[in-house]
Structure 1
Amino acid sequence: MAATSVLLADDDVRLRQFLELELREEGYAVRSCGDGIGALTQIRQEPPDLLVLDWMLPDLSGVEVCQRLRSTGVQVPVLMLTGRDAVKDRVEALDAGADDYLVKPFSIEELLARLRALARRGSGSPGTINAQPDLLELDDLQLNLASHEVSRGGTAVHLSATEFQLLRCLMAEPGRVQPRQSLLDQVWGTNFVGDANVLDVYVRYLRRKLEPPGQPTLIQTVRGVGFLLKAGPVKDATP
């Protein structure tokens, strides 16, 4: 079995060298670069399984790199490293397409745990979701497991790796309530170390992308229980 490949983009040479050594020790196949253009170039030449991306790069910021990747349909799972810990900064990173973030200074054990969780999400780890056909459908919403493509009404919808896995879980059993803890376990792993409210954040992201004004809602909240996928009322076009 091939080693999981990681691209590490950070302009701090000492930190980059340290992380390269630690990741290789854990069995990852590691490549690295010190700027955003280099990261984009390497990803397009040979896409990695995981991307560890520093926010503060000398040319393009990590946020800009994420935005460029997602706008072109590249769905490599991204762990953003940042010295910023304000809520608005975390939201900006996630909105740009990062799947997770880690505030500096951090422990190598936490970084490794988050990479393991991202790897499970990106690969659709066995045992988390029952065997399914390649194409999942609900009304005009389609999710293709083979190509990792999502569309609604024939229009492509670009999702991050985490958004894709969450939608996949919801579409596995449309019309049935998915408990919050079950979704957290399936998407983030049973050993997830983080705020459980991350589920609500990603549900908002999915609704923003899948439920444009004038279209029926799809993701319904069952208060105190979880979420289910079924067609609901038409979303109001007024703010």
Structure 2
Amino acid sequence: MKRILVVDDEPSIVTLLQYNLEQAGYAVDTAATGADALTKITANAYFCVLLDLMLPELDGMEVTKRARQAGNDTPIIIVTAKGEEFDRVFGLEIGADDYVTKPFSPREILARIKAVTRRSERVTPTEQQLVRKITIGDLSVDEDRLRVTRSGESIVLTPKEFELLDYLIHRQGRVLDRETLLNGVWGFDYAGDTRMVDMHISHLREKIEADPKHPRYLKTVRGFGYQFGD
């Protein structure tokens, strides 16, 4: 059974999420502080983490940052109260995969989990399977091992960044608008907005381009969207 960690210091929120997640077939662990959350994320292989922003001891941003620095790539969805100050760009930069604001519906939470965990649904390759590796210029994407390198140097991507890059590479040369990318990578039931695409593109460009201001791979086609390569 897939296990999800719910991190929130409001018992009513925890109860709501735990009930609905268990009804959807997930096993649920909970934590009420950032320190406890970080300990559990480190010790367990979670399918996804729902992480409140404002927590005792360590806030959600710091928990995310430390988990990513430790090499943990579990999908993390930041949960914020409407009106709380939350820098979405910084959140993505330190490794959060998505965010949702309170109040939220259980249906929305389940849709977000489904969207950010698509990468986890990949089948682990056996020794008999061929490694699917795509190389374009000095950029190489290993789809089975979920690794990206540029000129032989490893690039650390979040799960959603990897999925976005993989989606773009398979449509090399096509100009894709934001709605197409939002639907293709986040899912048709994703309740987000197109600014999420812009933020992920910007951060992905910072990682894979030698000169992000003059991108070789991730190009902006003004008035239309984005294009990978020529």
Output the TM-score relative to the length of structure 2.
0.85
The CA deviation at 1:16 is: 1.3
The CA deviation at 1:157 is: 1.5
Structure 2 distance, partners of 1:179, 1:141, is 23
AA at the equivalent of 1:34: A
Aligned to 1:236: none
Aligned to 1:4: 2
Structure 1 distance, partners of 2:131, 2:229, is 19
The CA deviation at 1:208 is: 1.2
The question of 1:228 aligning with 2:218 is answered no
Change (3 A) 1:87 1:223: farther
The CA deviation at 1:120 is: 2.8
Aligned to 1:234: none
Task: State the Cα deviation string for residues 7-43 of structure 1 (Å, max 9, x = none).
Answer: 1111222321231112101111111112222222222
The question of 1:211 aligning with 2:209 is answered yes
Aligned to 1:128: none
Aligned to 2:194: 196
Correspondent of 2:136 among 138, 142, 145: 138
Structure 1 distance, partners of 2:193, 2:176, is 19
Change (3 A) 1:162 1:85: farther
AA at the equivalent of 2:31: C
Aligned to 1:97: 95
Structure 2 distance, partners of 1:17, 1:224, is 45
Change (3 A) 1:177 1:119: same
SS in 2 for 1:56: coil
Structure 2 distance, partners of 1:193, 1:115, is 12
CA RMSD of aligned residues (A): 2.5
Runs (5+) with no aligned partner, structure 1? 126-131, 232-239
The question of 1:21 aligning with 2:38 is answered no
Write out aligned runs for 1:51-66 (5 A). 51-66=49-64
Task: Report the identity percentage.
Answer: 36
Change (3 A) 1:116 1:182: same
Task: State the Cα deviation string for residues 40-69 of structure 1 (Å, max 9, x = none).
Answer: 222222211111001112111110111112
The CA deviation at 1:213 is: 3.5
The CA deviation at 1:161 is: 1.2
The CA deviation at 1:154 is: 2.1
Question: Structure 1 stretches (4+) deviating beyond 4 angstroms?
Answer: none
Tell me if structure 1 keeps the 8 A contact 2:82–2:103: no
The CA deviation at 1:88 is: 5.3
Structure 2 distance, partners of 1:160, 1:176, is 24
Structure 2 distance, partners of 1:219, 1:189, is 21
- How many pairs align? 223
Structure 1 distance, partners of 2:163, 2:138, is 19
Tell me if structure 2 keeps the 8 A contact 1:121–1:187: no
Structure 2 distance, partners of 1:94, 1:18, is 26
